Amino acid sequence: MTIELRLSDVDPPVAEPKRTIYRDIVNLPDPVKLGITVRYFNYDDVGLYMQITGSGTGYTFGTVNLGLLGSGSNAYINLDEFASKTKPSTGDLPNGELEENITLTLKAYTDSGYSTLKWTYERIVTVHWINSADAAFTVDELDNFDDGTVQGWAVANELGNVSPYPTIGVATDYVLSTSYSCKMRQGWAADTTADYQVRGRLYKSFTTPNKDVVYAIIDFRFGKWSYLSGDAYPYTKYQCKQSGTTILVYLGRPYDASATDYVPVNKWMRVVVPLPKNQTVEIRIVTDWCSKHGSSIAIGFRHGIDTYIDDFKIISK
């Protein structure tokens, strides 16, 4: 194998686990967009120019030139709105669920003009649609924050936040359902031009129902804030932990100090996560970001990342 495409943080030579993309049709626009984080590898003796596209019944995929990847290297990228298709109707999801396959195609070229193809690698990925409003499902948890409370969610500083951050509260500036969402605010105060890593988590524990099919549906949004000037650069990951096992859904890539957004900001996104039945689980939304500065900075400078969630659901059948 000379190039490879993965959808996890599992390193070769360990086999890539089966990857399934779970999606909930409720309140999605039509057509629906597919965003995905991929990890691509170059095992060749020379650097190669990588390109990714895809195919699937009813889908329209983009073609993304990923640039030069050095010999022996790998990289992550979040492909926002990488594909689109007509939104499945409720009639397309008997008993509230439907599975289909798409094919992701990684190509490697020897030239920057992407004209001399050297290697091709294909990975088939399952897309599992659900209709959380279907009568087959029971809504076991609905956190819409519209009672004006955070409904049991909490925050914790994992690295770098200055007091009093991270903070948590209800918000009205960005909501999915009237009148409130839940917002975690992270922040950092600087008296230096050094770059700085900050990480916080928004979390809550649940006991899942004793049913064979259980899903968490997480709608979330990221935004930046500052009191003066400058910017902050986020990447994020999602964790569901149970019995010492971590189920990870990544967006973006592992932390670095690059002045680049690795995940979309200022837009609502959705992750659907299958959960084990009859277990105590902790849903964690972890936002990791870089405080990146120019050559001068004011003492007391504060900026950070806001993480919003709304209409969080656990459903089962």
Please give the pLDDT value at position 193.
Answer: 60
Q: What is the DSSP string of 114-126?
A: S-SEEEEEEEEEE
Q: Are 211 and 166 in contact (CB under 8 A)?
A: no
Question: Rounded CA gap, 219 and 270, in Å?
Answer: 4
Please give the pLDDT value at position 243.
Answer: 63
Question: Rounded CA gap, 90 and 139, in Å?
Answer: 17
Other Cβ atoms less than 10 A from the Cβ of 15: the count is 7
Q: Are 306 and 224 in contact (CB under 8 A)?
A: yes
Could you tell me the two tokens for 121?
Answer: 């690698």
The pTM (predicted TM-score) of the whole model is 0.93
| pLDDT tens, residue order, the chain (317 aa) | 799 999 988 899 999 988 899 999 999 999 999 999 999 999 999 999 999 999 999 999 999 999 999 999 999 999 999 999 999 999 999 999 999 999 999 999 999 999 999 999 999 999 999 999 999 999 999 999 999 999 999 999 999 898 899 999 999 999 999 999 999 999 877 655 667 788 999 999 999 999 999 999 999 999 988 765 555 666 677 666 666 666 778 788 888 777 778 889 899 999 999 999 999 999 999 988 887 655 444 445 577 899 999 999 999 99
- Rounded to 5 degrees, what are φ and ψ at 239? -135, 135
Please give the pLDDT value at position 296.
Answer: 46
Domains of the chain plus CATH, in order, are 3-130 (2.60.40.10), 138-316 (2.60.120.260)
Question: Rounded CA gap, 109 and 6, in Å?
Answer: 19
Q: Find where tokens 């605010």 sit.
A: 185
Largest CA distance in the chain: 59
Please give the pLDDT value at position 293.
Answer: 59
Using DSSP bridges, classify how beta strands 117-130 and 20-24 pair: parallel, antiparallel or unpaired: parallel
Question: Rounded CA gap, 3 and 185, in Å?
Answer: 40
Q: Are 217 and 24 in contact (CB under 8 A)?
A: yes
Please give the pLDDT value at position 242.
Answer: 63
Please give the pLDDT value at position 50.
Answer: 98
Q: Are 170 and 181 in contact (CB under 8 A)?
A: yes
